[in-house]
């Protein structure tokens, strides 16, 4: 890096946000590490001249504005934004309450929008910058028991894909990241909320999924340090990818999605192509 770049990360007190912040400091970035609790972020990252810890609940537009102001006040610019913070609401659609679904969409979709909206005026004035949003394998394909989470990540991807051509003329690149399972705190009680059982017909499948997620917790195959390093590499590229798929499991999901989509197109191609007015 010729001039020292500035990276702002959401959710940098726990999980892969910590790995990304540490990797960025090691790579020579000036890092604005944000979180809902400053003590947690400071404890996770320690003290560093290149580190600014700022409070930021992604659900608060006021926090986002203040964090951007603090970042620019301290380091003068923001080159890379990592929309990382999120949580997980598990459960069957019928058992999830409207409040739970709204909360999931607020944190995982509206949250990154809030933060990005606050950062964009700064980025637009710079010649080059980069927004990286962490989606999921569940942002590529929907899964049983993941209705709310997948909806939030699909929303994130539709927003990011639309934002990409809007801001590219300002030299702002965008990357969607699709991690598979990574060993973080996402499946712990602090980050995961499960729908309360309310419909007997789902009982057996619910028990199966609860056992699956409890077993995954702490055993996920992906190493968040390796993901952090890959993100740092992508952030350093002059033409970064619009999408980066992280983990063999996520690659499998994406390849299956492509095959399914192609098969669905082919199965009804004739009728799909015959929708034009004949008059």
Q: According to the binding rule CB under 6 A, does residue 154 interact with ligand NAP?
A: no
Q: According to the binding rule CB under 6 A, does residue 35 interact with ligand NAP?
A: yes
Q: According to the binding rule CB under 6 A, does residue 91 interact with ligand NAP?
A: no
From 92, 182, 194, 202, residue interacting with ligand NAP (rule: CB under 6 A): 182
Burial of 176 (0-12, 13-18, 19+ CB in 10 A): buried
Q: According to the binding rule CB under 6 A, does residue 191 interact with ligand NAP?
A: yes
29 noted as active-site residue: no
Q: According to the binding rule CB under 6 A, does residue 42 interact with ligand NAP?
A: no
Q: According to the binding rule CB under 6 A, does residue 57 interact with ligand NAP?
A: yes
Q: According to the binding rule CB under 6 A, does residue 134 interact with ligand NAP?
A: yes
Q: According to the binding rule CB under 6 A, does residue 84 interact with ligand NAP?
A: yes
Instruction: Give the residue at shortest CB distance from ligand NAP.
Output: 15
Q: Which of 22, 89, 133, 153 is catalytic?
A: 153
Q: According to the binding rule CB under 6 A, does residue 236 interact with ligand NAP?
A: no
DSSP string spanning the chain? --SPPEEEESS-SSTHHHHHHHHHHHTT-EEEEEES-HHHHHHHH---TTEEEEE--TT-HHHHHHHHHHHHHHHS---EEEE----EEEB-GGGS-HHHHHHHHIIIIIHHHHHHHHHHHHHHHSS-EEEEEE--GGGTS--TTBHHHHHHHHHHHHHHHHHHHHHGGGTEEEEEEEE--BSSSTTSTTTEEEPPP--GGGHHHHHHHHHHHHHHTTT-SB-HHHHHHHHHHHHT-SS--SEEEESHHHHHHHHHHHHHHHHHHHHTHHHHT--S---
Q: According to the binding rule CB under 6 A, does residue 86 interact with ligand NAP?
A: yes
Q: According to the binding rule CB under 6 A, does residue 11 interact with ligand NAP?
A: yes
209 noted as active-site residue: no
Select from 165-173, 178-186, 228-236, 263-271 the region that touches ligand NAP (CB under 6 A): 178-186
Q: Which of 103, 135, 136, 152 is catalytic?
A: 135
Query: What's the min distance (Å) between Cβ of 82 and ligand NAP?
Result: 9
From 6, 7, 8, 10, residue interacting with ligand NAP (rule: CB under 6 A): 10
153 noted as active-site residue: yes
Please give the positions annotated as active site. 135, 149, 153
**Contacts with ligand NAP, residue ranges (CB under 6 A):** 10-11, 13-17, 35-37, 40, 56-59, 84-87, 107, 111, 134, 136, 179, 181-182, 184-186, 190-191, 220
């Amino acid at each position: 890096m010729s001039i020292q770049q500035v990276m702002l990360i959401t959710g940098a007190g726990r999980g892969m946000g910590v790995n990304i912040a540490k990797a960025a400091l090691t790579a020579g970035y000036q890092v604005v590490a944000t979180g809902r609790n400053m003590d947690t972020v400071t404890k996770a990252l320690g003290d560093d001249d290149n580190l600014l810890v700022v409070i930021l609940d992604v659900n608060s537009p006021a926090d986002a504005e203040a964090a951007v102001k603090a970042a620019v006040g301290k380091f003068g610019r923001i080159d890379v934004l990592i929309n990382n913070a999120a949580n997980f609401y598990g459960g069957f659609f019928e058992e999830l309450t409207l409040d739970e679904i709204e909360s999931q969409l607020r944190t995982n979709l509206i949250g990154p929008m809030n933060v990005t909206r606050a950062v964009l005026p700064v980025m637009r004035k710079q010649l080059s910058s980069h927004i990286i949003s962490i989606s999921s394998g569940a942002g590529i394909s929907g899964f049983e028991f993941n209705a709310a989470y997948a909806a939030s990540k699909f929303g994130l991807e539709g927003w990011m894909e639309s934002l990409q051509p809007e801001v590219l003329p300002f030299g702002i690149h965008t990357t969607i990241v699709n991690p598979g399972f990574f060993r973080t705190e996402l499946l712990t009680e602090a980050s995961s909320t499960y729908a309360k059982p309310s419909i007997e017909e789902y009982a057996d499948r619910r028990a199966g999924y609860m056992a699956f997620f409890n077993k995954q917790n702490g055993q996920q195959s992906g190493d968040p340090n390796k993901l952090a390093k890959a993100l740092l590499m992508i952030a350093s590229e002059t033409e970064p990818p619009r999408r980066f798929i992280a983990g063999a499991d996520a690659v499998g999901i994406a390849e299956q999605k492509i095959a399914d989509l192609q098969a669905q197109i082919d199965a009804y191609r004739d009728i799909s192509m015959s929708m034009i007015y004949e008059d």
